Structure 1
């Protein structure tokens, strides 16, 4: 994805990270429909309830705006994941298998690149007696999983499955 996340070993360079509007030279962002979110997040009652500034002070909320400048200066996050998991912190890396923004194959590849031994072979996990995706466990308390039929924002696409795997992960129960 523009040399930052895919392919796996592509260099992550310091500098300005372009937003979709900048990349496309347009405000028409592919693969998104922000009509409902835009209506909800620009509603004054909602803005008050979530303690954000009034629209009149900061303009309206937009899904992908060109008003934000992001300077990438941290490089790859793999070293941070490896540092924390090597100390015993549990980590769950998950991806929707219909994610058009960050394909699960890339997340699976960088998770595998950490070099940990597989302790739970690739297998399906279930929710509501249906296959909900696949998972693989590594030593150092690292787990990778996919969520069947989910896009980039997994809880939005598959709320039941997301609640189930979050609950299992947080309570330390296997799927």
Structure 2
């Protein structure tokens, strides 16, 4: 394709549609999704919820009254895994804070999966905005966020070990450690700014043009809560053609969906976190496959 561009030949892209999972889309919708999410999940009380609604005038409210109300919310959710509130929160034993705890035996039980590794440790990659809205300007990466402490709740031990294995590096065609250095959780060499604004106009344009869009959310992700995604997809004003209903995988309810005209579907995956295929691989494969094949989910 590169040679075609150089030769003046316009490449052909057979674009049919797109899928987006737990994607930050709009600063207002995503920025105001957190409080309804934690309240709906039973993580804050009705009284705290009502207090925040009364005290805060939106996600940009920096008043003392709003800040004091938010402190109560933070105390309630601070030790939860922001990427999946059902998953264990890894406590760094070297951190001088209330998380300076030894790993309890229950942690190993909670982290068990069908995989041979007894404790589930994320293949941790780009994980941002950490309950932040997307504002124009420099994007704060984890190295900057972690300067004052460890990255909360996650461990990069497994990813570090795997990606620094010589055979793995050869298999993925990465340069040897002697050339490029060891793999690290994040890098300070990437600097970029966000200046695209809301993504809603792009979704509107693409769906009006007839492209298929499946917007899905793991419903236990506290980083980019489904409440914001459900709200912005509804805000497009498209006619509902398949009203809120469950969809199934392995003969079990795997989540819920609502379909609109212009080939737009909003779908949740029950019990999944920020990276849906990681937490619910079977369910993810099912709805991916059905959608790609043009079947009803």
TM-score w.r.t. the length of structure 2 is 0.54
Q: Equivalents in 1 of 2:175, 2:222: separation in Å?
A: 32
For residue 70 of structure 1, what is the aligned residue in structure 2? Answer: 192
Worse-superposed segment, 158-167 or 14-23: 14-23
Q: Equivalents in 2 of 1:63, 1:124: separation in Å?
A: 37
The Cα offsets for residues 86-139 of structure 1, whole Å up to 9 and x where unpaired, read as 111001101101112211111111211222111110111100011101111011
Kindly report which structure 2 residues correspond to 1:18-167, keeping only aligned pairs within 5 A, or say none. Answer: 18-26=140-148, 28-167=150-289
Q: Equivalents in 2 of 1:94, 1:44: separation in Å?
A: 36
Q: Equivalents in 1 of 2:275, 2:175: separation in Å?
A: 25
Q: Equivalents in 2 of 1:160, 1:12: separation in Å?
A: 31
**Compared with structure 1, are the counterparts of its residues 60 and 168 closer, same or farther at alpha carbon in structure 2 (3 Å cutoff)?**
same
Q: Equivalents in 2 of 1:76, 1:31: separation in Å?
A: 29
Q: Equivalents in 2 of 1:35, 1:123: separation in Å?
A: 40
Q: Equivalents in 1 of 2:222, 2:183: separation in Å?
A: 23
| TM-align CA RMSD | 2.3
SS at match of 1:25: helix
The Cα offsets for residues 122-165 of structure 1, whole Å up to 9 and x where unpaired, read as 11110001110111101100101111111111111000000000
Q: Which has the larger radius of gyration?
A: 2
Q: Equivalents in 2 of 1:85, 1:59: separation in Å?
A: 44
Q: Does 1:6 align with 2:31?
A: yes
For residue 63 of structure 2, what is the aligned residue in structure 1? Answer: none
Q: Equivalents in 2 of 1:99, 1:56: separation in Å?
A: 38
Q: Relative contact order: is structure 1 or structure 2 higher (C-alpha 8 Å, sep ≥ 6)?
A: 2
8 A Cα contact 1:14 1:73, kept in partner: yes
Shift of 1:21: 3.1
SS at match of 2:267: strand
Q: Equivalents in 2 of 1:27, 1:57: separation in Å?
A: 30
TM-score w.r.t. the length of structure 1 is 0.88
SS at match of 1:110: helix
Shift of 1:31: 3.5
Worse-superposed segment, 74-83 or 29-38: 29-38
